[in-house]
Amino acid sequence: MYASISLLALTLGLSGAPRDGRELIRAMHDRYAGSWYRTLAFTQHNTATDTAGKETYSTWRECATFPGNLRIDFLPADSGGGVLFRSDSEFVFAHDTLARTVPLIHSLLVLGFDVYVQPADTTLAKLARLGIDLGAMHEDTWQGRPVYVVGAAAGDTTHVQFWVDRERLVFVRMLQQVGRPGATRLADTRFEDYRPVGQAWLSARVVFVVGGRPVWREEYVDIQTGQPLDASLFDPRQFAAARPKS
C-alpha cells in the first residue's frame, strides 16, 4: 500500500505545477502545440508619451510567421521605413535602404509566440542567452490573476524576469533594468487584452512602462491569423519589392 501511495505522489508531482522555468516553458509549448496560429497580421496604433505627458501617435502595419519572423512597415508605406526581425537579427530600413543590422533575440517574439510552435529546447536556449535564470521561479498575482514568475525571487526587480498566466499559460509581463550602469530604470512590458483565437490566444494591447511612467502603447486592429504570408516579406533583400500593397 505504501508503495502505491508513493507512486501516486510521484505521478502527481510530475504532472502537476512546473517546478522551474524549464518545466514551465515545456508546459507552455505542450499546451498549444499544434493549435497555435503560425501567421499573424494586424494594424498597430501607437501612442508615445514624453516626460511632460504629451502624446504623439503613429500607425504601423505588421505581419509575422512563427517561429522567428516579424515585419514592421511604418505608415505611410511609401516612406520606406520599417524593421525586420529574423534569424535572431534586427534589420532596420530607412527610405527602402538597409540602414542597420544588429544581432538580437526578440524576447517578446520568443515568449509571446515562438514558444508555442518551436521545440522547447530552442526557446530555453534563447532565454538562457538573454540572461534569464530559468532555475528561479515563484508564484505571484498580476491584474487579479495568478501567475508564475521566472528569473527572480519574490520582490526582486533587479534581475530580468518574465511572468506567465498560470491558468492560460500565456506570457503577460517582462521586467528588466535598462539604461547605463549606475543610472538604470525598471522597464515593465505588459501583454494585455488577451482574446481567444481558436484554441490559442492573442494580446491586442502591449504597454511599455519605464521608471514607473507609461512611455509607449500598442493597440492592434484588423487582426488576421492563419492567412498565408509569402516568405519574401521577411527577406531583407526584398524589403521594398515585397511590401504589402494594403
Cell numbers 528588466 correspond to what residue? 176
For residue 243, is it within any domain? no
> Which CATH number covers residue 111?
2.50.20.10
For residue 139, is it within any domain? yes
pLDDT mean over 68-92: 96
Give per-residue pLDDT as tens, 213-237: 999 999 999 999 999 999 999 999 9
Q: What backbone torsions phi and psi does residue 245 show, to the nearest 5 degrees?
A: -80, -20
In this prediction, residue 156 has a pLDDT band, given cuts at 50, 70 and 90, of very high
What is the percent of the chain where pLDDT is above 90? 89
In this prediction, residue 78 has a pLDDT band, given cuts at 50, 70 and 90, of confident
The total number of structural domains in the chain stands at 1
pLDDT mean over 81-100: 97
Q: 234: helix, coil or strand? A: helix
Report how far residue 186's alpha carbon sits from residue 62's, in angstroms, rounded to the nearest whole number. Answer: 27
Judged against a pLDDT cut of 50, whether residue 184 lies above it is answered with: yes
For residue 151, is it within any domain? yes
Domain boundaries, position 55:
18-79+105-230
In this prediction, residue 246 has a pLDDT band, given cuts at 50, 70 and 90, of low
Q: How far apart, in Å, are the Cα atoms of 164 and each of 39, 104, 140, 158?
A: 22, 22, 10, 18
Q: Pull the grid cell for residue 56.
A: 504623439
pLDDT mean over 201-214: 98
For residue 246, is it within any domain? no
User: What would the 3-class secondary structure string for 142-207 be?
Assistant: ECCEEEEEECCCCCCCCCCEEEEECCCCCEEEEEEEEEECCEEEEEEEEEEEEEEECCEEEEEEEE
What is the pLDDT, as a whole number, of residue 244?
Answer: 84
For residue 94, is it within any domain? no
What is the pLDDT, as a whole number, of residue 77?
Answer: 86
For residue 13, is it within any domain? no
For residue 88, is it within any domain? no
Q: 81: helix, coil or strand? A: coil
For residue 200, is it within any domain? yes
